[in-house]
Amino acid sequence: MASVFGHFEFRPGQLQVIETLIAGRPSLAIFPTGGGKSLCYQLPALMLDGLTLVISPLIALMKDQVEALLARGVAAARLDSSLDASEVRSIYDRMDSGDLKLLYVAPERIANEGFLLKLRRTRISFIAIDEAHCISEWGHNFRPDYLKLAQLTRDLDVTRVLALTATATPKVAADICREFNIAENDHVQTGFRRSNLSFHVTPCLAADRKALLLSRIRERPPGPAVVYVTLQHTAEDVAGYLARNGLAAKAYHAGLADDWRAEVQDDFMAGRFDIVVATIAFGMGIDKADIRYVYHYNLPKSLENFVQESGRAGRDGAPATCEMLACADDRVVLENFVYGDTPSPQSLKSLVEHVLLQGETFSISRYDLSGTKDIRPLVVATAMTYLELSGLIIPTGPFYAGYQFQFLQPEDRVLAGHTPARQAFLKSIFDHSKKARSWITVKVDEVAFKTGEPSDRIRKALNHLADMGDIRLRPSGLRHGYRLAPDRPREVGPVAAILQDLFARRELGEIDRLGMVIDLCETRDCLTRHLLAHFGEGLESGCGNCGNCLNPPTQDRVLPSSLEDDITPEQVAAIHEIISEKHAALRQPRQLTRFLCGISSPAATRERLSRHDAFGLLAEVPFQTVLTQVESMGM
């Protein structure tokens, strides 16, 4: 441990988790952010024979950890969407040779049939699953691909499993333990409390919030700070406001160019500026020990999000402040996003009908299906996963429908290195592809039809040429293949109803989690004790360090709001006008409600309805109020 990782003693809980794995049993490790989760799988990976598979949704974390391990001489690699075909095949070769000790992959990778075949031929010492709360439907960050991980461990006959998370309620922890058959004694929870963090909640009106944030930053000692916001344009607005008032602040969000985001992150990590105003896209897997302040400019979606994001402060053990500027207006925005994500019954029925009425084998583009059924891509993925786990469909793996390539050497030289039969096959691919000035386009199924060659053989040939350095290859049109189960039900209605119920439960869970954030904001109790109780831990007396302990409220709080719930007669008239326009993307009540609340949808985006004057007309009115109004108008 000391020679490779430079540690001379274990942190709380680490040794128990490692001993459980060495003994061959699965374990759940619930450690606070910065609590040393990575050593729990990196050290036993070096002690056990075979490959340790680490599953994580955080590409930045994978990249940083692999680079750190390589610097220490550990044979590690990562498989993610940023790698090209030749890099993937190089890693596969190292899996075959037994050269790798740790392999980091995104959860989506387990849907790849070729990767699963490699895993079945590889000796696996154990599987570590980061962000394991994503497996639970009660978790705050549910991901459909995580639902398949328990079945993966059974299919691979891997009994050693380490599930890791910084944020799991007792209900979520019970879900994880049940899925991976983890004994109660092997569930290790070190405690969520970090005594160096001081939590504060300050109720405020939206109009006062920027000035309040500015005064907070100015009145406190200088130090690195992260300001979390909900929307990308808010990040730009707040960062610009702080910069105009003399503070070194920059925005960070997913809408920025990749190289600019990387520059902002690197500069913040290096201390070249102190304040980053960011959506939750910032910070996942980022380890900057000296962050002194985390401000939540907008309400977080859940207490789990609040604790996880606040936990990025004070990792060096020195005092740090975590403050929420609590405004009730945010609740409407966040709830509207939750309701907007739930697909309509008509859309779900159409999706199920599309799947069950396919031929025995079929493939889908989640992007195309999202547009035609007006369901967000992540929701499409979740629905397909539920159908898969229900035994209605069997995945056959993802593949690309098309490619673009460039010759890196003359075509005749590429062909010269092959047998005559192989030359004829490759030339038939080239001849039936569409040539343009820079790139040659291959539509795989079209070329397969014209040449009589199997589609999979064409894909393998193109990837082989790329591996050999003969062509530069760009895939496109990701599709997911399936087979219909022979004993599947033939009736669409009951299956769609089950899916609708699952999504309704998810919606209710998200709304309840937001309600718990409001409860925290309005409590007179110790904030630390309130948060610990949410995660199943007790604290006999107040922490003495949070805002409520330092300055006890004299009466119950009610978060201020400047929003009006009523829909005016003028707005009702505008809704009638929109209905009369008969937009195809706004035919269903839920579709029109999303549009009026300013929530984009795949179908509305395709019709460019976000440019319509009425888009977001009722953005400050609760979703359910708008939906009731729309339904009362005969929709």
- The domain limits of the chain are 2-189, 197-334+509-550, 345-484, 569-632
pLDDT at 137 over 70: no
d(C-alpha 23, C-alpha 160), whole Å: 9
Whether the CB-CB separation of 136 and 176 falls below 8 Å is answered with yes
In 292-411, at which residue ranges do the beta strands (DSSP E only) sit? 293-296, 320-326, 361-364, 393-407
With pLDDT > 70 as the criterion, what percentage of the chain qualifies?
97
CA distances in angstroms from 249 to 238, 308, 325, 620, 635, listed in the order given: 9, 22, 18, 28, 47
Residue 513, φ and ψ in degrees, nearest 5: -65, -40
Strands 161-165 and 27-30: parallel
The pLDDT of 158-184, averaged and rounded, is 93
- pLDDT of 1 reads 54
Give first-to-last CA distance, the chain, whole Å. Answer: 65
Query: Residue 78 burial by CB count (10 A; 0-12/13-18/19+): exposed, middle or buried?
Result: buried
pLDDT at 40 over 70: yes
Domain 2-189, CATH number (from 3.40.50.300, 1.10.10.10, 3.90.45.10, 3.40.50.10480) = 3.40.50.300
With pLDDT > 90 as the criterion, what percentage of the chain qualifies?
64
Name every residue whose Cβ is closer than 8 Å to that of residue 180 and which is 6 or more positions away in sequence: 26, 28, 150, 153, 161, 163
* Digit-coded pLDDT (tens) for 473-483: 988 998 999 99
* pTM of full prediction above 0.85: no
C-alpha neighbours within 13 Å on the C-beta side of residue 189: 19
pLDDT band at residue 3 using 50, 70 and 90 as cut-offs: low
- pLDDT of 446 reads 94
In 98-178, at which residue ranges do the beta strands (DSSP E only) sit? 102-105, 124-129, 161-165
Whether the CB-CB separation of 601 and 376 falls below 8 Å is answered with yes
* Digit-coded pLDDT (tens) for 248-300: 999 999 888 989 988 998 999 999 999 999 998 676 656 788 999 999 999 99
Q: What is the CATH number of domain 197-334+509-550?
A: 3.40.50.300
- pLDDT of 8 reads 67
Strands 440-443 and 393-407: antiparallel
Instruction: For the beta carbon of residue 555, count every other beta carbon within 10 angstroms.
Output: 6
Handedness of CA 619, 621, 622, 625 (dihedral sign): negative
Please tell me if the domain spanning 2-189 has the same topology as the one spanning 197-334+509-550: yes
The pLDDT of 212-223, averaged and rounded, is 97
